[in-house]
Amino acid sequence: MADVTYRDAVADGIAREMRRDPTVVCLGEDIGAAEGVFKTTVGLFQEFGPKRVWDTPISEQAIVGAALGAAMTGMRPVAEIMFSDFLACCWDYMANEIPKVRYMTGGQLSAPLVVRTANGGGLGFGAQHSQAVENWTFTVPGLKVVAPSTPADVVGLMASAIRSEDPVVFFEHKGLLATKGPAAPDDHVVPLGEAAVVRDGSDVTLVALASTVPTSLAAADVLAEEGISAEVVDLRCLVPLDMRRVLDSVQRTSRLVIVEENPYQGGWGGTVASIVADEGFELLDAPIRRVAAACVPLPFADVLEAEAIPSADDVVDTVRRLTAY
């Protein structure tokens, strides 16, 4: 099978579920006839028509609020929030409503919905269109958080996300949209909460997510030339978080570097690090290191943005120093 883009995998992943389940409906800004600003909904309007693919006004609260109301009443809405930065415009729904309805009604209601969003930096979109905000959603009990790094994972995790009885935030990384990988086979389903060891290694564990997976793999290539064998774990989800695979890997490597696109303070890697510093304390032969973004809003200029966001070089440097420890 020919390789496909991550971008096309998004539309493919949604379309597969829409074919399977008539209660799956999409809503968002410019997702219909216009096929999405990122072209991640190409073909959906044509195949499924205006009763399944709904264009909305610029009303992020209404979008996810309506998705919640529909999810409570028998539908499986897939809502697009165009850039993940705009999750801030409907954060009340993301943090206070969607993840809490099941709990605060004592299980009477549920919210089987997906909020998809284009996430992350590296494209020169400036401070308000470039953030990697998986860590925002990570703070909220009741949300499942998915952030795939390959086209096949996009399809397989989209299936799980849409089928999930729990609300899922699905982060599609803007920097990966044009990347290619093997197409997902028919009926491909990747369960939520299973990390993937995408490269075996023995000297250090690199824990990565979405864009930092290719970053870490590139770093591992460089390190391999220097004789350092890095294992790369793609978390794929933050919730459920597959700490078993991380701890297994650290058991073998005894060194841990976490590679995050979000800033260090408040980043998801802090939680991963703290679990390892607790439950994996005896496995460690060296300090835990985190390669994360600088504590700055993201600058526009590409050279500055590259400086702010973790690069393969940053990972290589960190691992080099750590293995020398």
Ligand X SMILES: Cc1ncc(C[n+]2csc(CCOP(=O)(O)OP(=O)(O)O)c2C)c(N)n1
Instruction: Answer yes or no: are the C-beta atoms of 235 and 148 closer than 8 Å.
Output: no
Among 162, 308, 312, 315, binds other proteins (CB under 8 A): 308
The rounded radius of gyration (Å) of the Cα atoms in the chain is 19
Binding piece for ligand X, criterion CB under 6 A, among 8-16, 82-90, 116-124, 276-284: 82-90
Concatenated DSSP letters of 161-172: HHH-SS-EEEEE
SS3 (DSSP) at 132: coil
Nearest CA to 318 out of 275, 271, 255 is that of: 255
Print the binding letters for residues 166-185 with other proteins: x by CB under 8 A, - otherwise: x-------------------
Q: What is the rounded CA–CA span in Å between residue 111 and residue 76?
A: 8
Among 138, 160, 223, 246, binds a second copy (CB under 8 A): 138
Nearer to ligand X (CB atom), residue 86 or residue 170: 86
Among 33, 34, 58, 104, binds ligand X (CB under 6 A): 58
Catalytic site includes residue 173: no
Nearer to other proteins (CB atom), residue 3 or residue 279: 279
Which residue among 17, 129, 172, 231 is the active-site one?
129
Of 71-130, binders to a second copy (CB under 8 A) are 85-86, 88-89, 91-92, 94-96, 99-100, 103-104, 126-128
Which residue among 29, 35, 60, 80 is the active-site one?
60
What is the nearest approach in angstroms of a second copy to the Cβ of residue 280?
Answer: 8
Catalytic site includes residue 60: yes
Q: What is the rounded CA–CA span in Å between residue 37 and residue 45?
A: 14
Q: What is the rounded CA–CA span in Å between residue 49 and residue 193?
A: 33
Nearest CA to 173 out of 243, 122, 99 is that of: 122
Q: Which residues bind ligand X (CB under 6 A)?
A: 29, 58, 60, 82, 86, 89
